[in-house]
Amino acid sequence: MTHGLAWLQVHVFATRELLTWFERVRSANSFREANELFVRVACGELLDQVLSGIPMSQSEFARLRDFGLVREETTARQDADIFTIVACGNTPEHRHRLAQFIVDSDGEPFDAVEIDEAERQIRSHLRSYVKHRIAPRAHEWHLADSLIPMDIIAELGSLGVFGVSIPEIHGGMGSGKVAMCVATEELSRGFLGIGSLGTRSEIAAELILHAGTSAQKERYLPAIASGRLLTTAVFTEPESGSDLASISTSARRHGDSYRITGSKTWITHAARADLMILLARTNREIHGYGGLSLFLIEKPRGDDIQPFPARGMTGSEIGVLGYRGMKEYELTFDGFETPLDSLLGDREGAGFKQLMHTFESARIQTAARAVGVTQAALDTALKYARERIQFGKSIIEFPRVADKIVHMAIDAQLGRLLTQGAAHRKDSLHRCDLEAGAAKLFAARAAWSAADNAVQIHGGNGYSLAFEVSRLLCDARILNIFEGAAEIQAQIIARRLLSG
């Protein structure tokens, strides 16, 4: 029931963002039929799902009766407007017409979400870069399960990708979270691994900006922004994933250093990273989050022959379905030494709270990654559906195929609106944990649904490794698991709502 409440909130935010966007584009551009159809179909569907059941996953629905509301009560509260929106919104005729706009616009039928000139430039540069340098090679990297080449990382560094939201005085672009979302979506549309390189720099930079000492800011931020220093987030342990506050890896003071002992798992890009952001227990007397501290730990960059050359640290690779390009590792620390000044900030025991502070940005960034994957699924499904002929016509002409495409386009735009709405709040220094959580929850579900539908549209070819859509399916699946699994995300939103 509480998770259902969170999903209701997601629908409220989605509807609000949709209507705010529509008011803006309508006053700027007068009338555009595609925008109008989008609002009708999306509002009709969002509202219909509230009344009939919101899919939290394939098998779980949030239904109003779960809140103790009987049918007569909900019917009595529906006014004529609600009946009209549901009955006349998501109709076959509207979807059919919208599908035509989607085909004519190559998958981008709606007015853009509000971005300024600088953000528009970022989008256009990165779109062109991805088209020429990433898209042609992404599937090859995925199939070979190889690391993203270093020359690509250097190019992304010179494009400023790692420092989009790092302030200019620290060597970044100083462009804020909306720009970060725009960049992340474009990169993830080409390859999720590329869009995810920036996740680590985003988390590291947020932490250092918020809690680091002046020396740490000076030492690390310019290097992170330029892409010279690759970072990795070392939080999860074999016995503590969602319940991060219970981790047991310890950091003990010993002379002029800390000694780290314990196991970590699922650490992305660990071998090649130069700087680990590591969560460890500095006070074993305190079992919950109060005994945890964060560390900025430098390590030598590993390679294929010797992935973990540092003393006191070993690791092995975890084979994965998708999300390739950085590789995942299990790590073991056995008395690994790091200087005292690698403690983030100047106080032990603040690690969990410092980490919580980054969750808003990290979730917004992950939501933007999910929007990129959703759009990629739409791009590839649309192309295939136009080209594939069955029963003498393009399969896009069959309503069940076109409807799937319409659904993807709507989800991509709603995900974008939610994500950039949360980013706007963050940029204007408002609390946005609810909005960021809602964006992540919605966009991750949308990416999985879009990838699944895109495979369906490809028929048997969707199941072939030779087709890029098979990669999108694997990539999309992870978005509901990391940065707060969907259930945990819903739990956090519901707790916030219920605590007032």
Ligand X SMILES: Cc1cc2nc3c(=O)[nH]c(=O)nc-3n(C[C@H](O)[C@H](O)[C@H](O)COP(=O)(O)OP(=O)(O)OC[C@H]3O[C@@H](n4cnc5c(N)ncnc54)[C@H](O)[C@@H]3O)c2cc1C
Q: Of 485, 496, 498, whose CA–CA distance to 57 is shortest?
A: 485
| Nearer residue to ligand X within complex by CB, 98 or 247 | 247
Least Cβ distance, residue 86 to ligand X (angstroms): 31
What residues contact residue 173 under an 8 Å CB cut-off, 6+ apart? 160, 163, 164, 165, 166, 179, 225
Per DSSP, 248 falls in state -
| Nearer residue to ligand X within complex by CB, 35 or 231 | 231
Q: Which residue is nearest to ligand X (CB)?
A: 241
What is the rounded CA–CA span in Å between residue 129 and residue 147?
19
Least Cβ distance, residue 159 to ligand X (angstroms): 23
Q: Which residues of 382-407 are buried (b: 16+ CB within 10 A; e: fewer)?
A: bebbeebeeeeebbbbeeebbbbbbb
Tokens standing for residue 102: 């989607």
β-sheet bridge partners, residue 263: 332
Least Cβ distance, residue 196 to ligand X (angstroms): 9
Phi first, then psi, for residue 177 (nearest 5°) are -80, -30
Least Cβ distance, residue 55 to ligand X (angstroms): 16
SS3 annotation, 125-181: HHHHHHHHHHHHHHHHHHHHCCCCCHHHHHHHHHHCHHHCCCCHHHCCCCCHHHHHH
Residue with token string 């407007």 = 81
Q: Of 233, 159, 153, 171, whose CA–CA distance to 199 is shortest?
A: 233
Least Cβ distance, residue 3 to ligand X (angstroms): 8
Contacts with ligand X by CB under 6 A lie at: 233-236, 241-242, 266-268, 320, 323, 328, 478, 481-482, 485, 487-488, 491
Q: Of 452, 373, 477, 464, whose CA–CA distance to 143 is shortest?
A: 464
Q: Is 428 exposed, middle or buried (0-12, 13-18, 19+ CB in 10 A)?
A: exposed
Tokens standing for residue 137: 């090679």
Least Cβ distance, residue 418 to ligand X (angstroms): 21
| Nearer residue to ligand X within complex by CB, 162 or 235 | 235
Tokens standing for residue 295: 């560390």
| Nearer residue to ligand X within complex by CB, 270 or 395 | 270
Q: Using DSSP bridges, classify how beta strands 389-390 and 393-394 pair: parallel, antiparallel or unpaired.
A: antiparallel
Distances (CA, A) of 316 to 87, 163, 265, 266: 55, 30, 10, 10
Least Cβ distance, residue 16 to ligand X (angstroms): 27
Tokens standing for residue 177: 């979270």
What is the rounded CA–CA span in Å between residue 214 and residue 216?
5
Say how many residues make up the chain: 500
| Nearer residue to ligand X within complex by CB, 324 or 426 | 324
| Nearer residue to ligand X within complex by CB, 38 or 266 | 266
Query: What amino acid positions are annotated as catalytic residues?
Result: 483
Per DSSP, 380 falls in state H
CB 18, CB 39: distance < 8 Å:
yes
Phi first, then psi, for residue 467 (nearest 5°) are -95, 135
| Nearer residue to ligand X within complex by CB, 324 or 458 | 324
Least Cβ distance, residue 352 to ligand X (angstroms): 13
Least Cβ distance, residue 242 to ligand X (angstroms): 3
CB 458, CB 382: distance < 8 Å:
no
Question: Looking at this protein, which amino acid is placed at residue 398?
Answer: F
Chain centroid, CA 494 distance in Å = 20
